[in-house]
Amino acid sequence: MAQDYEALLKQILEVASAYSNNAAPAASAPAPAPAPAPAACGLEPIPVGISNRHLHLSQADMDVLFGPGYELTKIKDLKQPGQFASKETVTIVGPKGALEKVRVLGPIRKATQVELLLGDSFKLGIKPPTRMSGDLAGSPGATIVGPKGTVVLSEGVIVAQRHIHMTAAEAAAYGVANGQTVSIEFDGPRCGVLGNVAIRAGEGHALECHVDTEEANALAITSDTTFKLIK
C-alpha cells in the first residue's frame, strides 16, 4: 500500500514537472513575440517625422541670397528620397518682425517655398494658409535675407498641411489613396486625434508621417511615437 502511494506521488510529481516545463519554454524555444505597438490597420507603425520651420529655394533666388551658382551644403539626409537639410540658413522678414536662422532644405525647387509654424506667422505679421507643398497660388510673400542679398517673395509662404508619405504599394496595403485625408490618433498624457492628414502616395515617397513642431508639441509627439490611422 505504501509503495502504491509512493508510485502515485512519483507520477504526480512527474506530471507537475512536465507542466512546469511547458510553462517555461526551453531556452531553444523561440521567444514570445513582443506586444505589438499600436499599428495602423494591423500593419507596421508609420514613422513620424517632425518638421521645424524651413524653406526651399529656386536656383534664381539662391543666386541672389548666396551668390551666383551657389550650391547647398548637405548636413543631413532626410527620410524622403533625395531631400536633405543644408547648412545654409536665412532670415525671414515680415511686416511685424523677423525670424533668423531658418534652415534651407535641398534640393533646389522650381519655386521658392517658405514653410512656417503658425506661431511664426504672428511674430512676422504674415497670414499663411495651410497648404500642401507646391500649392502656393494666392499665398502671401515675405522678404528673405541671405548673406549676399535679399529676395522679396511675392508668394510662397505657407503652413504645411500634415501629411503621410508612402509608396503606391504601401497605400494599397493601408487601404488609402493619394490625395485622401485621414485622421491620426495618438495615445499618452496629451492624447488626441489630428484630422485632415493628407495621403501623399506614389513615386519618390518613403513611408513617413509629417507633422510640424507645434502639432508635435501639442500632443507630446516624438519621432518614436506611434499612432493609429483612422480612415
Closest by CA position to 157, among listed 121, 110, 103 = 121
The one among 54, 56, 205, 210 contacting Zn ion by CB under 5 A: 210
Using CB atoms, what's the residue nearest to Zn ion? 210
Report how far residue 212's alpha carbon sits from residue 219's, in angstroms, rounded to the nearest whole number. Answer: 11
Distance CA 146, CA 150 (A): 6
Closest CB to Zn ion among 49 and 192?
A: 49
Q: Is 205 in the site for Zn ion (CB under 5 A)?
A: no
- Return the range that interacts with Zn ion (CB under 5 A); candidates 69-77, 166-174, 203-211, 217-225: 203-211
Report how many residues bind Zn ion under the rule CB under 5 A: 1
Q: Between residues 53 and 210, which has the closer beta carbon with respect to Zn ion?
A: 210
Closer to Zn ion at the Cβ: 131 or 210? 210
- Quote the least distance from Cβ 83 to Zn ion, whole Å: 8
Which 10-49 residues touch Zn ion, going by CB under 5 A?
A: none
Question: Are the C-beta atoms of 31 and 191 separated by less than 8 Å?
Answer: no
Q: At 145, which amino acid appears?
A: V
163-166 and 192-201 beta bridge pairing: parallel
- Residues in contact with Zn ion, shown as a per-residue x/- string from 151 to 190 under the rule CB under 5 A: ----------------------------------------
- Measured distance CA(9)–CA(14) in Å, rounded: 9
Report the SS3 class of residue 55: strand
- Chain residues binding Zn ion by CB under 5 A are 210
